[in-house]
Structure 1
């Protein structure tokens, strides 16, 4: 990036998580001048949960594949071939990705966010018009869109044409832009624990709905299995007050075939993680030159594993809309995306809330609490055309740049 344009880029992206870096990469590959501002002092720590894993669905893997990131991001990842759903102990449905029409890849992956971020940073380093600034604290946003950022070298003002806020559920940019948002703590409890993969495990996620709440057995990375228990706060408290054997009894009663394996590998509460989740609902996803991306617009609970999936899909659609706006086509694409996306996201958040009640008496019937496998695998139907159009345009931009 030339010195004269260094502080007046086409776009500033605040937040160097997966969604922010993907947005920067897509815009940079289209020849846009992009500055990424991240408050962490260096990329060494990657991002929150970099040492854990997330389930990335086929629709999102297909996007990563088209961008050239699927191979590098798959290092250390574990494959999932499908899922089974159980209601009150009885099999309610069995699904396989390979059976879905137009499924980009016949599997999901449990991948490590840190590996994905490293792959993105490697690609970004090849783009001359993309600049990353670490240790950057956003301090002020003026009514004209000027952004004041403080680093160890002092304060600097940026004048981006567009400002993408990918700085999480407690977004500083969102607050400075005057966009009101509800950030609501989940009423229910979330606990998980990892164990080695059992010798006879068949690469299927299994979701168990019942009076106990929701119990999930799925892959954690390449060589681990994670048990996730989401239940009401009262039921969780009755177990947390006692020895870890009480937790193991609940889990073993739900999944008897795993009982010996769980008892063998979980022996202490220190092996059990407890997480407080939050939902975010911003009153608007754009204001002036500010565009909210991912958790800044619509953070959600971990139930159904859609946080990173929806955020990466958002990044693809929104960078297409921002690129069109930068080309003089107006902000219609940004408005269209929010109109199509918001009802789906808020429906997901409502579904998550039915699985995280304050008490067992408030729990909904199992069939009302289960997500649709095809929607998780292939994404929201209304934005699939937007994703396809964005990636087709991205490919054309890349081909033009190579000639």
Structure 2
């Protein structure tokens, strides 16, 4: 076990949760000289998250690169997450500009492949102690400040002290609850069911998303020839949907424009559901505490952004607190810096997602941008950057883009010129 040099702390940082956010943070912090205890409540090092879109947006590619995981992910069969989106105006199909660079991308990869991979990378990093079977049961506090955690372990109760406690333990974060961090919750008026299929071809072998207003669906090709197929209807349809789950799921897919051939495909998992999945937003810091990944912000699954934001928030935290976590700076100021970055980068996206989660049809601005993107290649590329969370809402809806979309739609409505003569 790694021994600390400082007095009064077993580690510099203790992280609850060894999934994407926690394992990434542990690896990045330890590389900067931070001594990390990485706690995972499950005892199986191969454990993984089941309910997930299994997609990493391009905003997180730099984190994968810094972790050194890109070659391993590609070797494992990850699929680049190029996409096309169906709308009532037709398909939006982003393509690189002629002679221009390829579109930014990351990967679709099942969590059964990704989670053990990133967890083992953390465990192999000098300075990280991966402690499996350690479930956080409470916090250690002194003078109103969190200075560690209490955990149940296979050997009994244990207290682990650290300068910083990081909650990377998901939307139902035990760290956040024990610290009394308030949660803002937004109702999600859609439900979702998903299943994994083999031999389910998709045009160009890329992601398909259907905006059916208000219903949604998406198909994500993944590693090992597996496609994750998800339907996301309005909750008004839930009672009827549940009466015949398999029949309702198949009928929904068959009715999609350019529907994947579900009847000739092999379903290799059960149909599993997210019947009630509200969006959660928490303040990402408290005294001696930081929250990352879903513990800080849980988005709407239909956008497939959770994995990317988990990795990004781990990187933001590392950049803000690594020095202070070793006693070389003011930890409270470092945490405040992390909190500002997290809010600036994510709250605008979350506001739009929470509004769309009311299961409404497109609003006027969305109609403008989506219809124009279906008609114009440069606006399709602009939408691609937004969907990959490389730009925020303000840049997506900047005056130049809105003016371009308006001009595209006006031109589309103009009658054709009469033939010469």
Residue aligned with 1:291, SS: strand
Matches within 5 A, 1:159-170: 159-170=161-172
SS at match of 2:318: helix
| Structure 1 residues not aligned, in runs of 5+ | 383-403
Q: Which residue of 2 aligns with 1:56?
A: 56
Query: What per-residue deviation string (whole Å, max 9, x for no partner) do you get for residues 103-132 of structure 1?
Result: 7x8543211223333333433343342212
SS of the residue corresponding to residue 41 of structure 1 reads: coil
1:29 counterpart = 2:31 = yes
Compute the displacement of 1:241 (Å).
Answer: 2.9
Alignment of 1:213-292 (within 5 A): 213-242=215-244, 244-258=246-260, 261-265=261-265, 271-276=270-275, 277-282=277-282, 284-292=283-291
Does the 8 Å contact 1:35/1:131 carry over to 2? Answer: yes
Shift of 1:325: 2.1
What is the 5 A alignment of 1:1-400? 1-2=2-3, 8-44=10-46, 46-49=47-50, 54-80=54-80, 82-88=82-88, 90-96=89-95, 106-144=104-142, 145-183=147-185, 186-198=188-200, 201-211=203-213, 213-242=215-244, 244-258=246-260, 261-265=261-265, 271-276=270-275, 277-282=277-282, 284-326=283-325, 327-342=328-343, 344-357=345-358, 362-365=360-363, 368=366, 372-377=383-388, 379-380=390-391
TM-score (norm 1): 0.80
SS at match of 1:156: strand
Q: Distance in 2 between matches of 1:61 and 1:235?
A: 37
Shift in Å, 1:328: 1.1
The structure with the larger Rg is 2
How far the C-alpha of 1:204 sits from its partner, in A, is 2.5
The alignment partner of 2:136 has SS state of strand
Take 1:107 and 1:190, find their aligned partners in 2: how far apart are those partners? 25
**Aligned-residue CA RMSD (Å):** 3.3
After superposition, the Cα gap between the structure-2 partners of 1:214 and 1:325, relative to the gap in structure 1 and judged at 3 Å, is same
Aligned residues: 371
- 2:213 and 2:362 in contact (8 A); partners too: no
Asked whether the equivalents of residues 110 and 219 of structure 1 are also in contact (C-alpha less than 8 Å), the reply is: yes
Contact 1:87 1:366 in 2 (8 A): no
Native 8 Å contact 1:79 1:107 kept in 2: no
Change (3 A) 1:39 1:202: same
Helix, strand or coil at the partner of 1:222: helix
- Specify whether residues 26 and 233 from structure 1 end up closer, same or farther in structure 2 by C-alpha distance, changes over 3 A only: same
SS at match of 2:303: coil
For 1:293 and 1:344, how far apart are their aligned partners in 2?
13
SS of residue paired to 1:229: strand
- Assess if the C-alpha contact under 8 Å between 2:189 and 2:357 holds in 1: yes
Shift of 1:160: 0.4
- Counterparts in 2 of 1:214 and 1:83: CA distance versus 1, 3 Å: same
Tell me by how many angstroms 1:97 deviates: 6.6
Contact 2:198 2:266 in 1 (8 A): no
Distance 2:100 2:83 in 1: 16
Provide the secondary structure at the position in 2 that maps to 1:133: strand
Per the TM alignment, residue 329 of structure 1 is displaced from its structure 2 partner at its CA by 4.9
Question: Displacement of 1:60 after TM fit?
Answer: 1.6
